[in-house]
Structure formats: C-alpha cells, structure tokens
Amino acid sequence: MEFPFDVDALLPERITVLDQHLRPPARRPGTTTSARVDLQQQIMTIVDELGKASAKAQHLSAPITSASRMQSNRHVIYVLKDTSARPAGKGTIIGFLKVGYKKLFVLDDREAHNEVEPLCILDFYIHESVQRHGHGRELFQYMLQKERVEPHQLAIDRPSQKLLKFLNKHYNLETTVPQVNNFVIFEGFFAHQHPPPRKLPPKRAEGDIKPYSSSDREFLKVAVEPPWPLNRAPRRATPPAHPPPRSSSLGNSPERGPLRPFVPEQELLRSLRLCPPHPTARLLLAADPGGSPAQRRRTSSLPRSDESRY
C-alpha cells in the first residue's frame, strides 16, 4: 500500500509496534509540536487505510480497525513495511496485525465455563499483491516473540477461512474447542494459563430444578385450627414496647398478670354436656345399683307420706 508521504521516514523499522496513543516511534531532533502532530496524523491515516483494506478483504460491512478505535482501546498494532521497494522514495506498507487482551468466558472440553483474559487476535491483513511470500508468518512470529505467548494460547476473534488455514499450516492448530461466542480457541488453550482460569460451576439442567407444586403452595396457605378449648380463647394482645407510666399512688405494688379469658356460662354448660363421662364415674355407677337413673326415677315416684315411714 502506497501513501503520499514518506513511510520510511515515519516508520524506520521493518515492523513497527503502535499502541493506543499512535505516536511516532522516535522523535526527530528539532521537531516542533506542529510537526509531531502532522506525523501522528500520518500514522492515523495509515491505520485507517489498513482497516478499510482488511474489511474489504473479509467482506465486512464496516472496518473493525481504525485510529479512533485504537485510541479508545488498549490494543497493539504491528505494522509491516516493505524495505526493498521504494516507489518515488516513499516506501510501502505490506500489512498489519492487531492484538489485545480481553476478558472472556470460554468453555473447556468438559463444557465448563472459565473466566480468562488471553491475548486475542483481533485483525490480520496482508496486501493481496504480496501474499504467499512469507510476510504473514514473519509478522505473526514477531508478534509471538514480542508478546511471549504460544500460538495455542491465543484466542481469535471471528477468524476467516484463510486465517484458519494459515494457523493450521504454520502452527499445526487444527482442533478447536467449540464456543458459544465469536472467539475460536484451539486444543491446549487451557494447558498453560497463568494465572489458572477461574472456573464457574457448570450450568444446571432445567430438569434438576423442582419448584413447589400447587398442592404444596395451597397447603402453606391453610391455617391449622388448634384443638378445644384453645380455639375458644382469644389471642392475647401484644404488649406495647413502651408501657405507659404507672400512677405514683400504686407505689411498688407487684405487677399483675393478664386476666384469663371470660367464657359465658351457657357455652361452658354446653361444652360440659358434650364431654364424655370420666372412666371413674362409669365404675361408680356400675357398682351402685341404686345410683342408676332408673332407680332414682322409681324412688322419686313414691308419695311423701311413705317416705316419712322409712
């Protein structure tokens, strides 16, 4: 990719590492503030044009790499330039590789959730005119050495088929671990996690959750009535938290307990008639024949004059 400014002077190294500040790699002696602003604007132009070319090659609706996105995220971009070709003495850009650490929830081979923060491949592009010349492997290998990671430790964001074939060809990354998000991880990803991933409990199956049945809920709503005579007595009122002060005329007289509930006389007699006779009373009635109800009726039928004779 060619630009209207001097790329060789702006990026002196073959591979230049840019962070979110997008500043020139080295300050030139005697450079004014306005000149530094111009150099930063040139770097932003390179990043924007590389992002557009990558989006076009991947058939994306919008670029995922731009100067504004770089400034709002803690990502790193590796820019590769061509040092052999110098059209009009300005140099050209071959491609770029963007990486960054992201906090992800990924599944392992047992489908358990793991919270990790790996280095992710976010965008990768080599110009179509110089592909299959080893430039992509050179750029990727430089990034691995700079970041001190192994290929199987990476997480790739929505990789294209070309990128998957590239990783399989140069790094033997073929077997992937299925995920529910857009990131792809390969077998061996969890082998060298530092610190070890924080594992979350596996998702509970829907069949294991047993809510209360309708009968249980209805049973909890029904209040069980206490037996007699407890059901006759009204509930005692809750004493106030701060009782009113007593009159000084009471002195230090002891406090009286609450009175027993009043039961009407007719209700008490009715309840007594309904109560069964005591076993002892049954024995007394059986032992005393004269005490039976029939004997009392015969005795009460005699005249009073006869009663005086006995």
Give Cα 268 to chain centroid, integer Å. 64
For residues 199 and 219, what is the distance between their CA atoms, to the nearest angstrom?
40
Sign of CA dihedral 71, 142, 144, 54: positive
Does the pLDDT value for residue 126 go beyond 80? Answer: yes
List residues forming the annotated binding site.
124-137, 160-169
**Residues 68 and 59 sit within 8 Å (Cβ to Cβ):** no
| Residue entry with tokens 């037996």 | 227
pLDDT tens string 71-84: 999 999 999 998 77
The pLDDT of residue 24 is 83
Sign of CA dihedral 149, 151, 155, 161: positive
The pLDDT of residue 1 is 87
Does the pLDDT value for residue 33 go beyond 90? Answer: no
Does the pLDDT value for residue 305 go beyond 50? Answer: no
| Residue entry with tokens 């770089």 | 70
Does the pLDDT value for residue 293 go beyond 90? Answer: no
Helix (H, G, I), strand (E, B) or coil at 185: strand
Provide the 10 A C-beta neighbour count for residue 281. 10
pLDDT tens string 159-207: 999 999 999 999 999 999 989 899 999 998 988 664 444 445 555 555 5
The pLDDT of residue 250 is 47
Helix (H, G, I), strand (E, B) or coil at 106: strand
DSSP category for residue 2:
B
Identify the residue with better confidence: 64 or 264: 64
Does the pLDDT value for residue 241 go beyond 80? Answer: no
List residues forming the annotated binding site for acetyl-CoA.
124-137, 160-169
Does the pLDDT value for residue 269 go beyond 80? Answer: no
Residue 33's φ and ψ, nearest 5 degrees, are -65, -40
The pLDDT of residue 191 is 83
Does the pLDDT value for residue 208 go beyond 50? Answer: yes
Does the pLDDT value for residue 50 go beyond 90? Answer: yes
**Mean pLDDT to the nearest integer, 103-121:** 91
Give ∠ CA 122-49-79 in degrees, rounded to 5: 55
Closest CA to 96 of 14, 184, 205, 186: 14
**Residues 178 and 107 sit within 8 Å (Cβ to Cβ):** yes
Give the H/E segment covering residue 68.
helix 67-71
Given its phi and psi angles, is residue 89 left (phi above 0), alpha (psi -120 to 50 degrees) or beta? left
The pLDDT of residue 110 is 87
Helix (H, G, I), strand (E, B) or coil at 115: strand
Provide the 10 A C-beta neighbour count for residue 215. 8
Is the CATH number 3.30.450.20 carried by domain 7-186? no
Identify the residue with better confidence: 98 or 113: 98
| Residue entry with tokens 């029904």 | 222
Sign of CA dihedral 7, 11, 17, 20: negative
**Mean pLDDT to the nearest integer, 132-154:** 95
Q: Could you tell me what percentage of the chain is helix, strand and coil, using 3-state DSSP and rounding each to the nearest 5?
A: 40, 15, 45
